Chain A
């Protein structure tokens, strides 16, 4: 076996990172994904590595066009991200990133559900460290919530896989057609990672709290591995059209409400993945190719956007729009790269977004799916609004806050320049990307006068609305409640509610039963005989002509005797005899 598994190369290669120091380590982590990229070019479609484990045939390496296109972009993005991180001196982050990227490659090459699940979980755990590594209290909290949500998603996937294997007797990961609880559970687990609302809040909660380079790396792998898994396993599931359309609009609305620049970008990931999920739901060759191509282009321009936001955060220590502005004066290159990323995400003609997203929208048109098509067009206009203009405008222009940070370090600029070049290259010359597409379809030409003009109309009028409505878009120092409210605040309220409800019930029960009833019974048992005796002796004392004070004295004496148990046996037997006599009299008179 001459071929090496590109994912294993990164997983094993990560072990050496702690042994290296300084620039050597930086070069080493840049070269690893580059080597992985080379290995992927060597993999022939049809190749597979199999092993027999736990009574099942596991396939660690399944090579076809679908796995290769995702593997290429995963390795390429890793390469750019490590150039960007050249001056990062934190080997924990390097190891976590390599494990994360390596396991993402493992997931796209996995030919069976068991190894897919294994790599899925390694991704969840290793990526958490890219969040925790920022070492702020907010990052610790967000990382903790992030891993809990992914454990939940992973368990849904696992339960679905186990039921599915029991149903079909096969572990092979192929297109799933059966609609039953098992497959819906798997779909649910995958949609958690695809960040489909209402299971999406982990993304906008955690990614903006990650480190500068962590955000760049996180933005690519988890959601796009989920997109790959959907293309492979769930093509043509109509529900995905609904989920995808919802995601596109949801991402825009929240991004418009947001103040933190990296959170704006996090919400726009949900919006963009929505386009891909819709493409999977449409399920034709063109739409599936569109989902794969758009994932490829998206990883590049999204990483570029996260890099430019990261450069701003790195240089100014700020990430809120209300605290930024006017940076074009001292960070023109970062601005240029950020704008190229912003144009690409908006599918501006001449950029990679235009040549890839069009495939999905054309796919919807060809199938005459009116509503999905309309929503995707509306969302395309909305992308320009929230990511295309809002992000660069509020960070680099708007009101000058007097920040004069200067340009960021050279490796960061080189990485951004590389990705910016790719955005434009794939926009003007998309054929190399189209050749990688997994499914056979008619040749697609994005550039026609009609297509370019209508796209420009859509975008330029969005821009017009942005500037006309600018007063409504004024940034405020606020956050917007998302579904994470239910486990961040809702959990606390639930616990407080339970505290009030159950502990209140507890206190009430104590008052009624312990204080009331038990004491009552105890009183009855303790004082009962004395009271009875007093009742019985009352007439006797009255007949004996005792004064009121004498009566009280006798009563006290009697009570004391009962309490101390000092009542003579003679008196008790006398009382018993008297009672028995009375009983006999009453019974006899009947």
Chain B
């Protein structure tokens, strides 16, 4: 393993490029919103970049909630044995 050259996806340069790509795509999806008019159905979904904010906040909260519940619910794998 140690002698094996690092795979393309494992090189630090690639990982940094992938991070940049992810941020760029996120920026692009928000930027695209300049090209159409939002048609809100409710009070809160009319502002610029609503879906981006919702996606970010919702996922952050879900992960934190799961993490918190994990303290109460996680058990060793042989719990039921």
Please determine whether chains A and B interact with each other in the same assembly. Answer: yes
Chain A interfacial positions (CB closer than 8 Å to B): 249, 252-253, 256-257, 328-329, 365, 368, 370, 373, 377-378, 381-382, 385, 397, 400, 402, 448-450, 453-467, 469, 472-473, 476-482, 488-489
Contact with A along B29-54 (1 / 0, CB 8 A): 11011011111011000000111111
Q: With A257-B73, A373-B42, A476-B74 as given contacts, are A464 and B32 in contact (CB-CB < 8 Å)?
A: no
In the assembled complex, the CB of A261 is this many whole angstroms from the nearest CB of chain B, namely 14
Kindly state the separation between the CA atoms of A377 and B80 in the bound complex, as whole angstroms: 36
Given A257-B66, A329-B7, A479-B74, A462 contacting B39 (CB threshold 8 A) = no
In the complex the two chains form, what is the Cα distance from A400 to B4 in whole Å?
12
Since A378-B62, A463-B22, A465-B63 are in contact, a sample of 12 more A-B pairs with Cβ atoms closer than 8 Å, ordered by chain A residue number, is: A257-B70, A328-B9, A329-B7, A385-B63, A397-B9, A457-B51, A465-B59, A467-B19, A469-B59, A472-B67, A481-B73, A481-B79
Determine which of B52, B58, B69 lies in contact with A378 in the assembled complex, contact meaning CB atoms within 8 Å. B58
Closest-by-CB residue of A relative to B38 is A450
Q: State the 10 A-B residue pairs at the shortest beta-carbon distance, nearest first.
A: A461-B55, A465-B59, A457-B51, A256-B66, A458-B55, A454-B51, A457-B52, A378-B58, A461-B56, A478-B74
Bound CA span A472–B70, Å = 11
A453 near B36 with CB under 8 A, answer: yes
B residues near A488, Cβ cutoff 8 Å: 80
A319 to B55, CA, bound (A): 29
User: In the complex, which of the residues A472, A480, A482 contacts B63, with contact meaning CB atoms closer than 8 Å?
Assistant: A472
**A377 surroundings in chain B (CB, below 8 A):** 51, 54, 58
Interface residue B1 (Cβ < 8 Å from any Cβ of A): yes
Contacts of A449 in B (CB 8 A): 32, 35-36
Given contacts A449-B36, A453-B32, A479-B74, contact A464 B67 (CB under 8 A): no
Residues of A contacting B11 with CB < 8 Å?
A: none
Contacts of A370 in B (CB 8 A): 42
A480 to B75, CA, bound (A): 6
Which B residues are closer than 8 A to A by beta carbons?
1, 7, 9-10, 19, 22-23, 25-26, 29-30, 32-33, 35-39, 41-42, 49-56, 58-60, 62-67, 69-70, 73-77, 79-80
Query: Helix, strand, loop or mixed for chain B's interface?
Result: helix
The answer to whether B56 and A477 touch across the interface, beta carbons within 8 angstroms, is: no
Distance of A167 Cα from B36 Cα, bound (Å): 55
Q: Which residues of the other chain, A, contact B76 by a CB distance below 8 angstroms?
A: 477-479
14 inter-chain pairs at a CB distance below 8 angstroms, sorted by A residue, are: A381-B55, A382-B58, A454-B38, A454-B50, A456-B29, A457-B30, A460-B55, A461-B26, A462-B58, A465-B56, A476-B74, A480-B74, A480-B75, A488-B80
Which residues of B lie under 8 Å from residue A455 when comparing CB positions?
51
A461-B58 Cα distance, complex, nearest whole Å: 10
The distance from the CB of A251 to the nearest CB of chain B, in whole angstroms, is 11
Whether B70 contacts A480 by the Cβ 8 Å rule is yes
When A402-B1, A464-B22, A479-B75 are in contact, do A458 and B52 touch as well, CB less than 8 Å?
yes
Query: Given A453-B32, A455-B51, A488-B80: A460 and B25 within 8 A (CB)?
Result: yes
Given contacts A450-B36, A488-B80, contact A253 B65 (CB under 8 A): yes
Given contacts A257-B74, A378-B62, A481-B75, contact A453 B41 (CB under 8 A): no
Complex: chain A residue closest to B10, CB-CB: A400
Residues from chain A with Cβ under 8 Å of B23 in the complex: 464
Chain A contacts for B39, CB-based, 8 A: 450
Note all chain A residues with C-beta closer than 8 A to B38: 450, 454
The answer for the CA separation of A154 and B16 in the assembled complex, in Å, is 54
With A377-B54, A457-B51, A478-B74 in contact, is A253–B62 under 8 Å at CB?
yes
Contacts of B58 in A (CB 8 A): 377-378, 381-382, 462
B37: A residues at CB distance < 8 A: 450
Residues of B within 8 A of A256 (CB): 62-63, 66
B26: chain A residues at CB < 8 Å are 457, 460-461, 464
Distance in Å: Cβ of B53 to nearest Cβ of chain A? 8
Cα A472 to Cα B63 with chains together (Å): 8
| Across-interface contacts of B67 in A (CB, < 8 A) | 472
Tell me which residues across on chain B come within 8 A of A473, comparing CB atoms.
Answer: 63
B contact residues around A478 at 8 Å (CB): 74-77
Measured between C-beta atoms, what is the minimum distance from B5 to chain A in Å?
A: 13
Determine the chain B residues whose CB is within 8 A of the CB of A450 once the complex forms: 36-39
Q: Min CB distance, A373 to chain B, in Å?
A: 7
Q: Which residues of A contact B75 (CB under 8 A)?
A: 478-481
A457 x B55 contact (CB < 8 A):
yes
Taking CB atoms, residues of chain A closer than 8 Å to B64 are 472
Residue in A252, A458, A480 with the greatest tally of chain B CB atoms within 10 Å? A458
Report the Cα distance A442→B29, complex, angstroms: 29
B73 CB contacts on chain A under 8 angstroms: 257, 480-482
Residues of A within 8 A of B9 (CB): 328, 397
Instruction: Give the docked Cα–Cα distance between A453 and B53 (Å).
Output: 13
- A466 and B59: CB pair below 8 A? yes
B58 to chain A, nearest CB (A): 4
